[in-house]
Amino acid sequence: MNAAEFRRRGKEMVDFVADYLENLEQRPVYPDVKPGYLQSLIPTEAPLEPENYEEIMKDVERVIMPGITHWHSPYFYAYFPAASSYPAMLADLLCGAIGCIGFSWAASPACTELETVMLDWLAKMLQLPASFIAGTHGQGGGVIQGSASEATLMSLLAARCKAVRRILSIKPEMSEPEILNKLVAYTSEQSHSSVERAGLIGGVMMKKVPTDSTYAVTGDMLKKIVEKDKEAGLIPFYFCATLGTTASCAFDHISELGLICNEENMWMHVDAAYAGSAFICPEFRPLLNGVEFADSFNLNPHKWLLINFDCSAMCPDSFHEGNCLAAQIDFLLGDHGCACGYVPGTRGGKQQQQQKKLFTWLLCFGEFTADTGCKLARVKKRHDMIGAFKVEPLYLRHENQESGLVTDYRHWQIPLGRRFRSLKMWFVFRMYGLQGLQAHIRKQVALAKEFESLVQADKRFEICADVIMGLVCFRLKGSNELNQNLLKKITKSREIHLVPCHLSGRFVLRFAICSRTTESRHIRKAWRHITQLTFELLKNPIQ
Ligand code: PLP
């Protein structure tokens, strides 16, 4: 394909995409295919000779579309939203064209610098404390990760290293494996499965804290379990709070929880993957009060801020003493020879070098480093910190890296390569403006409230959790089996798509407002559909 053909095909593709999205509500939202359907539709090997573009596009409809769950259909109400907007898609096209791999400032200065500024724009929209902002001096600030799960894992690993450092400094007679065996992390029984997974990957005990009647964790609940564990000789070190739980969009009481975490030397990570975007609206911002106690905070603009996947914003608090991920690694690899990484107990030599590599990705969220003792000290320039740990082959070096004025984001993440994802933020923030983004959030919350009213007006149904944002949890009054059968009928119909959750042992249907194009008429039609299926089900409950 040459440039002339690309121009032609590109215009056709833009038309194809616009047609697809404009007419999406006519397609069944949920596919009707069996596992393995696609293999029988395409050859088992790549073609030897070049193929014709038209044939490929025909196959998009024949092979791909039948197997698509249409996440952007106005009848998609499952999970949480996957954000999408035209400015973000255009920015993604430009990102593909520039095609830079922005691992260091020199690898594409605009890629690095725009990310820093966009995360500051976002932090200011959210009214985060100043310690979450990079500002003009290149200190602190956030980073775009691929997912909330990655952000949680990173925070847990950093917290683990910090805890080992602290315990070793007060009880030098303890060995690292002994400490690791006693470390205990906590999260809500309602938190996302990625938190439990972070515990498994991080190799630490993870305990679930019970929730109150609103499915939120309160300070008292955490305090009780922490006290009991301390009496049993365990070492509490980490708590992952959730603002907007996946099942019912509940909000942990982070002001109370943060105080306890600070008192107990526990790292508090705040997972606001979905609901975090709503905090750009002043009326929702109070739910974020207490973030000042957090050691790290994460939200997914790719869920609710009109920025297509992937774009997960991680903001570590750079001013909390000892919070910087890099500081934990500095300790890990510093003069102590302490290794609290994936292979506990290995010290020095090649193994330590390998661990150093493993942990390089955890680097540099703020402006702290460890001194040569165990005490952490804040440093004035980020190169003091980065310089301590970098894996620096000649081919990645550049003349500005020690200037203290630039960020090399490769030190902030697992992979070396990174896309120019901040372009999507820049286009979306500018084309919607803060007011446009707030309007999007408010509209979706209003649609959820409308759906809630429809459910409340039908005495056969009940609402199962407070509707605070764009999610309604509801069920038919009756058995779990009845509700399972209703969901089966809904899924089979393929007209709307929902997923369930369990709340207090009950099978509950989740109705999440997801698509940017969902309007009141879609909500009302979805409800008519649900009540029609309910009518059929109640006539013949054994399905
Ligand atoms: N945390 C919460 C509260 C979520 O609801 C989700 C996904 O819905 C996640 C984490 C995982 O997000 P990601 O896919 O970005 O890892």
Q: Mind giving me the DSSP string for 68-106? A: ---TTSTTB-SSS-----HHHHHHHHHHHHH----SSTT
| Residue type for position 307 | I
Contact present, 360 and 411 (Cβ < 8 Å): yes
Q: Any residues with Cβ below 6 Å from ligand 1, and which?
A: 80, 147-149, 192, 194, 242, 244-246, 271, 273-274, 300, 312
Pocket test for ligand 1, best of 193, 300, 307, 309 (most atoms within 8 A of CB): 300
Predicted confidence (pLDDT) per residue in 388-400, tens digit: 335 677 777 777 7
Task: Please list the alpha-helical segments (H only) found in 471-519.
Answer: 480-493
For residue 151, give the ligand 1 atom closest to its CA: 16
Of 153 and 327, more confident: 153
> What is the rounded CA–CA span in Å between residue 163 and residue 468?
36
* 148 CA → ligand 1 middle, Å: 5
* End-to-end Cα, the chain, rounded Å: 54
pLDDT over 80 at 367, yes or no: no
Q: What pLDDT score was predicted for residue 157?
A: 86
Choice among 1-15, 325-339, 457-471 with the minimum mean pLDDT? 325-339
Residues 297, 252: contact at Cβ < 8 Å?
A: no
SS3 of 157, please? helix
Among the residue ranges 116-120, 233-237, 285-289, 444-448, the one predicted with the least confidence is 116-120
pLDDT for the residue 391: 62
pLDDT of 94 strictly over 80: yes
Atom of ligand 1 nearest to the CA of 272: 3
Testing ligand 1's pocket by substitution, the residue of 154, 217, 240, 246 carrying the most ligand atoms inside 8 A of its CB is 246
What is the per-residue pLDDT for 139? 55
Residue 247, token pair as written in the block = 């099942």
Tokens 């990655």, located at residue: 150
pLDDT band at 78 (very low <50, low <70, confident <90, very high): very high
Quick: pLDDT tens for 144-200.
888 999 889 888 988 898 899 899 999 999 999 999 999 999 999 999 999 999 999
Q: State both tokens at 341.
A: 């990484």
Identify the pLDDT of residue 58.
96
Ligand 1, pocket-test mutation among 192, 305, 510, 514, most atoms within 8 A of CB: 192
pLDDT of residue 60: 96
Contact 266, 229 (CB under 8 A): no
| Sheet containing 183-188: order of strands | 143-145, 312-316, 296-299, 267-271, 235-242, 183-188, 205-209
The band of 488, judged by pLDDT with boundaries at 50, 70 and 90, is: very high
Q: How far is the CA of 149 from the centre of ligand 1 (A)?
A: 6
- Tell whether the model's pLDDT for residue 329 goes beyond 90: no
State the pLDDT confidence band at 102, using cuts at 50, 70 and 90. confident
Q: Would you say residue 337 has pLDDT above 50?
A: no
Residue that wins the pLDDT comparison between 380 and 60: 60
Supply the DSSP symbol for 291: G
Q: What is the mean pLDDT of residues 504-509?
A: 96
**What is the mean predicted confidence (pLDDT) over 35-59?**
95
**Regarding predicted confidence, which is higher, 177 or 138?**
177
- Among 85-94, 246-255, 267-276, 310-319, the minimum mean pLDDT is found in 310-319
Q: Report the atom number in ligand 1 closest to the C-alpha of 244.
A: 3
Range in 315-319, 495-499, 507-511, 523-527 with the lowest mean pLDDT: 315-319
pLDDT of the residue at 296:
86
542: confidence class by pLDDT, cuts 50, 70, 90: low
Expressed in angstroms and rounded, the spacing between residue 298 Cα and the centre of ligand 1 is 10
Instruction: Round to whole Å and give the CA distance between 283 and 286.
Output: 7
Q: Is residue 415 predicted with pLDDT exceeding 90?
A: no
Percentage of residues in the chain with pLDDT exceeding 90?
70
DSSP one-letter string for 329-364: HHHHHSTT----SSSTT--SHHHHHHHHHHHHTT--
Ligand 1 centre distance from Cα of residue 508 (Å): 19
Inter-axis angle of helices 422-456 and 86-98, nearest 10: 150
Among 159-173, 343-357, 447-461, 472-486, the range scoring the smallest mean pLDDT is: 343-357
Residue nearest (by alpha carbon) to ligand 1 atom 5:
246
pLDDT score of 327 more than 70: no
Per-residue pLDDT tens for 296-317? 899 999 999 999 998 888 876 6
Dihedral angle, C-alpha 181, 185, 186, 191, nearest 10 °: -110
The mean pLDDT value for 234-260 works out to 97
Residue 345 reports pLDDT greater than 70: no
Pocket test for ligand 1, best of 71, 79, 149 (most atoms within 8 A of CB): 149
Cα 339 to Cα 198, 359, 413, 494: the distances in Å are 19, 10, 20, 52
Helix (H, G, I), strand (E, B) or coil at 314: strand
